[in-house]
Amino acid sequence: MQYKNHDDDADEHALYTSVERAKAASRSTWVSVGVNLVLSTLQIVVGLLAKSQGLVADGLHSLADLVSDAVVLVAGHQARKAADDDHPYGHQRFENAASMVLGVLLLVVGAGMLVSAFEKLHNPDSLPAVHAVALWVALGTLVAKELLFRYMLAVAKQVKSSLLVANAWYARSDAASSLVVALGLVGNLAGYPILDPIAALIVGLMVAKMGIEFGWSALHDLMDRAADDEEVQAIRQTLIETPGVAGVHDVRTRKMGDMIVVDAHIEVDAAITVEQGHDIAVAARQRVMQRHRVLNLMTHVDPWHRPDLDHAPVKSAPQA
């Protein structure tokens, strides 16, 4: 019973963390849905009426955010599914796959913006002057997206979610693109219409670059990328501080969504019983799972011989 209680406590803690992360992710994502729905509608409608390609491009960027929010919500739901025979470690990697989908989405949206901007730049004489209302919409969007980014990033850091971090920076890319669009509109209103499609071109480059970065990072996570060195060292320190652990080696980690799966060899006194060694391993697992975002820890117990004892080889019994 003692061993079972140790494991159950750790599993309950992991479940509690997963539930809290899911609630925070859902809450922040629905806030993003509401903001992006209002902004994308406003930007596209005003952009078309005010004849601003940059504002329309920014509106399409906001519209793509709605799709990304949907991906986050679906991934969060799938990631919360319990482990089964086909997925013994759970479904957390849906988040990694969703991050890669977001990266591809950003890349596609950015490429579309670039194509549209280049078409406009090839015919500079046909560029119309925009209406001043487009500038006010762009400035309002800039403020709203920056506030949304700060809120989403704070939530993402609180729950340590790489998917939410990606979605937050997606919102920041919108804020940056709105700034570029606003500058292009200022230039257009000052008598330089070509600055509006140039702004759209810059926005497209920014979005495509971010898509490549997110997609590449998610691909590495899907290929069992290890946790960062600082986190691995923290896990190692927790193991070595466990009473009864004399040494730790061969600590290996791999990402599983925003959680980590760990394999480690711990050294215990060779003179203790197998049951005592098992108790130490269970205690080490419990401590790591309580202090770190570790989904599972697999320990291998190695014997450690105290240097102050004489471990002479045991002589075999004489044959009759």
Written as six digits, the tokens of 196 are 């509006």
Predicted confidence band of residue 88 (pLDDT cuts 50, 70, 90): low
Longest dimension (CA), the chain: 110
pLDDT tens profile 258-294: 778 899 999 999 889 999 999 999 999 999 988 888 8
pLDDT digits (tens, 9 = 90+) for 236-267: 999 999 999 989 998 998 887 777 889 999 99
Q: HEC profile for the chain?
A: CHHHHHHHHHHHHHHHHHHHHHHHHHHHHHHHHHHHHHHHHHHHHHHHHHCCHHHHHHHHHHHHHHHHHHHHHHHHHHHCCCCCCCCCCCCCHHHHHHHHHHHHHHHHHHHHHHHHHHHHHCCHHHCCCCCCHHHHHHHHHHHHHHHHHHHHHHHHHHHCCHHHHHHHHHHHHHHHHHHHHHHHHHHHHCCCCCHHHHHHHHHHHHHHHHHHHHHHHHHHHHCCCCCCHHHHHHHHHHHHCCCCCCEEEEEEEEEECCEEEEEEEEEEECCCCHHHHHHHHHHHHHHHHHHCCEEEEEEEEEEECCCCCCCCCCCCCCCC
135-167 pLDDT, tens digit per residue, is: 898 899 889 888 988 888 888 877 777 667 777
- Domains of the chain as residue ranges with CATH: 2-222 (1.20.1510.10), 229-304 (3.30.70.1350)
Residue tagged 């230039």 (tokens): 187
Residue 62 CA to residue 60 CA, distance in Å, equals 5
Q: 138 near 61, Cβ under 8 Å?
A: no
Residue 2, pLDDT > 60, answer no
What would the two tokens of residue 131 be?
């209406």
217 has pLDDT over 70 = yes
Strand partners, 78: none
Distance CA 179, CA 203 (A): 9
9: confidence class by pLDDT, cuts 50, 70, 90:
very low
Is pLDDT at 73 greater than 50 in this prediction? Answer: yes
Query: Residue 13 pLDDT more than 50?
Result: no
